[in-house]
Chain A
Amino acid sequence: MSLKQTARIISTYTGDTSGVCSALYELGGMTVMHDASGCNSTYNTHDEPRWYDMDSLVFISALSETEAILGDDEKLIEDTVRSARELNPAFIALAGTPIPMMTGVDFEAVARQIEEECGIPAFGFDTDGMHSYTAGASKALGAIARRFVREADNKDPALSVNLLGLTPLDFSVTGTERTMKKVFEGAGIPVRASWAMGSTLEDLAASAMAHVNVVVSSAGIGAAKVLRERFGIPYVVGTPCGKRFNERLVRAVRDSARDGECRVLPVSDPAARRLVIGEGVTAASLASALTLETGIPTRAACATDGFDGLSRMQVPQATDEDDLLPLMEGAEVVIADPLYRPIVPGSARFVPLPHEGFSGRIWRRDIPDLAADLTRFIDSNGLAR
């Protein structure tokens, strides 16, 4: 991590608070960001492409200076309980922001009190807006896995999977979540639940019926570990991406179903002169897929909060401009969100790959569905040679 933590010109990945909201968006709950103002409009303008057309109960607490100084959690509790009684959500999630972190709000305790008062399951997340969305989404899906997933009775012996870590922050709303399902269903492996796009809370609650979890982004790692711990379900880390990588992914799923071992599939080649920058799992998966499809080695850099599988993928973490610049030295091709372009060395060819979690809605219509058609991406960007 750079000491100066500066960005002269590039954007920033969205924060962990938004990650909580995004992960839980479609599950029928009510998410409250404990914040003064700002987090709500940032989230629903830049981070949440579903905001206009799909209702979800995401609010802020409208924290004031006086409440923060006095440690007045009662207002948060009363306001949340009142709205919950009016709107009857399936669960309540509280997500922290910088000031509650500084004043030491005990979100778990506040959630317990809310649950006692209104009888609705409640979670508290100690997010603080100082980590990337992957951390918040991972915590949120992990909590769902711990609280709602039931033991599987009469588990069907036929192989099935769950997809973990699907949020628009990594996959936008271009239909990638449906394509990913088709990758496995096309191989005769049903997808029981997509965590958490296109599935209901009830679908997720039945996830223990699956035999393997596929972690398609680091947002899914929290749930994967909980489901491993609670039900012994192994997980495979890798994002569907291109024909050859998908074949390996399906094979890895079958292997994990057979031997019960977890697998981290993508591998970055540290010596490669082609570089993908982005979220760790998706960037590494794309790097692996490009290597397989083109025969040209490609490496990845994780610019978000990572997880303990990054080292196994040989993916370095670099969250600031100062950390990223050395990684780009010597690169012939840099594949990254268009907002990285200003810091890419002139000697490298830049290939734009818009990422909702970085540039928001600006290039949403240009976000490709790499699970469906990596070939087009390779051809249109001259990556085959």
Chain B
Amino acid sequence: MIRRLGAEAPCQEIRIADASYPAPFTGGLEYSAPARGTWNIVHTGMLIPEAHEIFVCAQGCLRGVVLTAAEMGVPERFSTVAVRENNVTDGDLEDSLIEGVSDILEKLPQKPPAVLVYTSCIHHFMGADLDHIYKTLRERFPEIDFTDCYMNPIMRKSGLTPDQLMRRQLYSLLHGAPRRERTLLVAGGDFMTDDAGDLVTQLRQNGWEILEIQRTHTYDEYQTLAGAALCMTNQPGAIPGGRLLEDRFGMPHLHLPVSFDYDEIAANWKRLGEAAGIPVPDSASEIEKCEAALSRAKASIGDAPVEIDYTVTSRPLSLARMLLSHGFRVTKVYLDGISGEERDDFLALQKTCPDLLLSPTVDPVMRVRPRETEETTLAVGQKAAYFTGTDRFVNLVENGGFWGYHAVHGMAEMMREAWETPKDAKSLIQIKGWGCSSCL
């Protein structure tokens, strides 16, 4: 039985016409809705084959990451060193980390080829000498590659966020490899690009190979990524990783964002086609495929309200804009901020759909707001599913491997399926790391 507080409190929900860019809502205390499909730094780090993760932080912080690994079913690739008050007061953060990591590595049944050592806010605030730490570890274990990773959410508003750092550090362990002509490394995403999409098919048809960390199965195979001829990223969090690859290996980096706008998709393809020296897909036939999928979805969903959240794609406003232009009744988009990539979509929607509502997800009032809708609603994303209480929802996070025209017709197909096949939101959206293995 659901027990609600039922408090009457004003929500910060706002018409897009009245919203500010890039921060439409006032900050304050934050609520966390129980939609857990987005990946965290444990999930992302596990993409490096055979690597071992060691988190060094306070017990309370260890809890979430330990159980992420346990629920993934990979506890043997995960260890911890607890930071306690005595480490802070005695100023021995460096020694306790070095000795703790060394102790773990000595006890592992087999030494891993690579170790990701995650330090925390405490190390940052205490000014721990990370250079000394990693230098010492490398001297002690020359056969192991170490890299620095970070669980320091307090830095999320200062420079690179922990998420961006993690996506960048995925490639920090690459040594360098002979250049492999006609290979494209798609970097920094959680998911492998869908083989059925226009990116993979077009490149393969023109003799190119797609390289992705998700397609590697051994540490040696992972090392071959450094030889890619070209690198692309498709979401903002991945850009620092692309830059690292360009800087270290001379791999030209293109940032080609996921989009739901035909012109933007075509422009992305033009840049990629020129860089790779291959023809772009036939836009007319691709658009025809998209329009057909959208028509099927619209025929099924009809005039039902559609609510979208920011966890489903890095471009929720682009998605809303595309759907609204195709007659879908998008009524609300859940987001807590607007990324630079969405600025044009935001400004366009202010003019074309001024009554579209923007709703925060972390505002404390969201805890007590009604979680049902008068009309049966299609939710696109897990948070939208939770806030609307619907069982008709697209269960996808962080673009789910979509890119190019495939993002449009793939999403349209998923919307139609979601509308026609209700699902149990409570059991699905609480699983951490959509697409990862889970013992739940």
Q: Which chain A residues have a beta carbon within 8 Å of chain B's beta carbons?
A: 1, 3-18, 32, 36-42, 44-47, 51-57, 59-66, 68, 79-80, 82-83, 86-88, 97-99, 101-103, 128-132, 320, 339, 342, 359-362
User: B70: which of A11, A41, A86, A128 is its contact (CB, 8 Å)?
Assistant: A11
A selection of 14 A-B contacts at a CB cut-off of 8 Å is: A4-B99, A6-B82, A7-B81, A12-B80, A41-B64, A46-B67, A56-B5, A57-B368, A59-B367, A66-B158, A86-B9, A103-B125, A129-B58, A130-B59
Contact B125 A99 (CB under 8 A): yes
* Cβ A102 vs Cβ B88 within 8 A: yes
Cα–Cα, bound, A103→B156 (Å): 18
- Cross-chain contact B75 with A60 (CB below 8 angstroms): no
With contacts A60-B32, A66-B158 taken as known, whether A7 is within 8 angstroms of B79 at the C-beta atoms is: yes
Q: Are A44 and B5 in contact (CB under 8 A)?
A: no
B331 within 8 A of A: no
A87 touches B9 (CB 8 A): yes
In this assembly, does B284 line the interface, its C-beta being within 8 Å of a C-beta of chain A? no
| A11 proximity list for chain B (CB < 8 A) | 63, 66-67, 70, 75
A-B contact count (CB 8 A): 218
Asked whether A60 lies within 8 Å of B63 as measured between CB atoms, the reply is: no
Of the candidates B2, B75, B154, B362, the one whose C-beta lies within 8 Å of that of A65 is B154
| Chain B, interface residues (CB within 8 Å), range | 35 or more
Whether the pair A83, B368 counts as a contact (CB closer than 8 A) is no
A362 and B70 contact, Cβ closer than 8 Å, known pairs A99-B125, A128-B85:
yes
**Cross-interface CB contact of B58 among A7, A15, A80, cutoff 8 Å:** A15
In the complex, which residues of chain B have a beta carbon less than 8 angstroms from the beta carbon of A63?
Answer: 154
User: Is residue B83 contacting chain A, with contact meaning CB distance below 8 A?
Assistant: yes
B85 touches A130 (CB 8 A): yes
Within 8 A of A (CB), among B91-125: 96, 99-100, 103-104, 107-108, 120-122, 125
Residue B71 contacts which of A44, A57, A99, A362 (CB distance < 8 angstroms)? Answer: A362
A87 to B367, alpha carbons, bound, how many Å? 10
Interface of B is mostly: mixed
- Chain A residues, Cβ within 8 Å of B34: 44-45, 51-52
The 8 closest A-B pairs by CB, nearest first: A15-B60, A129-B60, A42-B64, A37-B153, A36-B154, A59-B29, A40-B32, A79-B28
Assess whether A18 is in contact with B60, with CB atoms less than 8 Å apart.
yes
Given known contacts A7-B82, A8-B104, A86-B9, is B63 in contact with A18 (CB within 8 Å)? yes
The answer to whether B266 has its CB under 8 Å from any CB of chain A is: no
Residue B63 contacts which of A5, A12, A36, A80 (CB distance < 8 angstroms)?
A: A12
Known: A46-B63, A362-B70. A86 touches B10 (CB 8 A): yes
A359 to B75 Cα, complex, angstroms: 12
Which of B32, B75, B78, B440 is most buried by chain A, counting CB atoms within 10 A of its CB? B32
Q: Does B196 sit within 8 A of A, measured CB to CB?
A: no
Q: Given that A38-B153, A60-B30 are contacting pairs, would A8 and B79 also be in contact in the complex, using a CB cutoff of 8 Å? A: yes
Interface centre among A6, A40, A46, A56 (most CB of B within 10 A): A6
Please tell me if the beta carbons of B36 and A45 are within 8 angstroms of each other in the complex.
Answer: yes
Please measure, in the bound complex, the distance between the C-alpha atom of A5 and the C-alpha atom of B67, giving whole angstroms: 18
Closest to A102 in B: B125
User: A45-B34, A86-B10, A87-B7 are contacts. A39–B80 as well, Cβ < 8 Å?
Assistant: no
Q: B59, A15: Cβ atoms under 8 Å?
A: yes
Q: How far is the CB of A107 from chain B (nearest CB, A)?
A: 15
Q: Given the complex, which residues of A lie within 8 Å of B367, measured CB to CB?
A: 55, 57, 59, 87
CB distance from B425 to the nearest CB of A (A): 10
Q: Which of B154, B364, B430 contacts A99 (CB 8 A)?
A: B154
Residue among B62, B108, B362 making CB contact with A8, cutoff 8 Å: B108
B100→A6 contact, CB < 8 A: yes
Asked if B141 is at the interface of the complex by the 8 Å CB criterion, the answer is no
Chain B residues 2 to 24 lying within 8 A of chain A, measured CB to CB, are 2-5, 7, 9-10
Cα-based distance from A4 to B98 in the complex (angstroms): 9
* Beta-carbon contact of B64 and A38 below 8 Å: yes
